[in-house]
Amino acid sequence: MNLYKGNSSVWLDNKARAAESGQSPVTKKILLAGSLLVGLAFAALIARLWYMQLLQGDHFRKLSENNRVRLVDVSPSRGLILDSKGRLLADNRPTFTLAVVPEDVPDWKLLSRRLQELVGITTEEIKKARLAAKGQPPFKPVRIRSHLDREQLAILETFRYELAGVKVLVEYRRAYLAARETAHLVGYLGEINSKELSRYPKSVYRLGDYVGRYGLESAYERVLHGKRGARQVEVDAMGRELNLLDKVDAASGHNLVLSIDLDMQKAAAKALGDETGAVVAMNPQNGEVYCLYSSPTFDQNNFIWGMTSGQWKSLANDKKHPLKNRAISGNYPPGSTYKIVTAAAGLEEGVITPETTFFCPGQIHFGRRFYKCWKKGGHGTVNLQRALSESCDVYFYRLGQKLGIDRLAKYAKAFGLGKRTNISLPHESIGLVPSTAWKKRRFGEVWHEGETLSAAIGQGFNLTTPLQLARMVSVVANGGRLVTPTLVKRMVVSGKQDPVPAPKAVTTKVNIKPEHLRTIHQGLVDVVNSPRGTARRVRLPGITVAGKTGTAQVVGLKFERSFGKEEDVPWKYRSHALFVCYAPAENPTIAVAVVVEHGGHGGSDAGPVAKKVMEEFFGINKKETIQAAAGVSEVSGD
């Protein structure tokens, strides 16, 4: 009893002491677990500090610096495009762009709602901007809408303190000052896409940049674009610039000075009017192009300043294809202008002499059909000079028979047909020069002799561009040289006073004897100046013009005549009107080619267009021209 009490007292004393000293098993476990957790936390903290300060110190130092200092991209100013007299064709005009710096936007939903209320920004625009920002540094401004008007600009400036991250950028956009007259020539720009961006140097191009998509803007993109610059600026927490720390100036693109004369472009546009076709005028001696006009045309400013879906559909679905540059990519049968080639082949191959004659009764019979001359009743007995002057089809049918298609093809290529001229514009067509080998390759069929008759007068499979025709007639004008047409006279380099000359054009000698070219030349002079010439209304006072008319059928003659009168034939079935010429005949300084689609006749429909362009070139008073031409009767024909 006493022993129990004694032991119990000892047990209680020991328990009290253990409780006081915290040495119970449960308490020890709790203390041990707590100590372990604290130790692990300190270890993780030390490891994180070691990682952030030693391994990632530079990275976080840069991020910290970017909260204070930013590198602002500076786009280069695009090079200007000027005509030969220094008149601006493509300029740069200031425009205001709404942009957002992603890392400065605390709440995208709130910002989107506010921008929609203030300036009508849509959720689609915001989504597109955020998508474009992916993969880009968060401090780089992302464009949301360009071409802000003054009212939108004033509203954004008024509420800028509650629009965190919003910036208004002053940028320069292209402006075309002679849009409709030079649309196909100068071309237009388009905003660069991700696929295009991968093909360009990243140091030069960024998303949001504009690049050449057509015409000279595309062909000279690298020259016109320039080099980027940058500004290092100090910003506050709202992203507003406080101080300029350093800068590298952007280098402007090179200016292009063209050989094109804007007055001649306007003259061509006025002369063609609403007709569909093209006009090319060039220097036959060195290939400088004075005029390159295609109709119908368009306003390329719409591609820069914005185009509605309705405008685009109207442009893209237009049956006359206004976006097509017919001067370099329109393929047309050359019609009787091709007789220059046939004549040269006949003389050079010794098949005819200048005195060789053929009798023209108005048609010839070959195979199962009759091949008609344009003049009902025929021209009678004609030599080469008269055959050219009056465009006698029967003469050239006979000559084509004697030559054969392969010899015709040889000289057509020598005159630059069936191949690109290498003018510095994209989308140039090759054209087509048929031959026996070509037909076998294309159709798996042999060439028929009857097809040669059509080819000899520029019909059949023959296809040429207006630029090729201007180059072709230049061979006669310059005495036997095939020149490469050029558009750029010089490039004015940014930061330098002296302009850089454009590369000189390549000239190829055409192997045709000078006396043969002189014979053809005299025939072309008679086309305009002979009493029976087919282009007498193209005469200029005091200046001798040499030329050749052409009428290219687009349907069979029998079908065309089934409509009765010529004016009753539907537009799409009417013949193309062509005319090529050069002047002054004694020492040519200009060569012109005109094609009027479904225009009718070369002499009466295409010739007057060429005349207007030459009047502008030579500065001839229009009243004097009208008086000089009064009383002149016309020969229709070609």
Is the alpha carbon torsion for 301, 303, 304, 308 positive or negative?
positive
Unique residue bearing structure tokens 């442009």: 315
SS (H, E, C) 147-165: CCCHHHHHHHHHCHHHCCC
| Known catalytic membership, residue 203 | no
Catalytic residue among 75, 112, 218, 336: 336
φ, ψ for residue 155, nearest 5 deg: -65, -45
Q: What is the DSSP string of 273-337?
A: TT--EEEEEE-TTT-BEEEEEEES---TTHHHH---HHHHHHHHT-TT-TTS-HHHH--B--GGG
Tokens standing for residue 264 = 């001649």
Query: ∠ at Cα 84 (79, 90), nearest 5°?
Result: 35
Please say whether the beta carbons of 262 and 182 come within 8 A.
yes
Is the alpha carbon torsion for 592, 597, 601, 606 positive or negative?
negative
In DSSP terms, 210 is beta-bridged to 191
Q: What is the largest CA-CA distance in the chain?
A: 165
User: Cα separation of 267 and 291, whole Å?
Assistant: 9
Query: ∠ at Cα 603 (637, 515), nearest 5°?
Result: 95
DSSP strands (E only) in 146-225:
166-176, 189-191, 210-212
Tokens standing for residue 213 = 């998509």
Query: ∠ at Cα 402 (400, 408), nearest 5°?
Result: 45
User: Cα separation of 516 and 527, whole Å?
Assistant: 17
Q: Which residues are catalytic?
A: 336
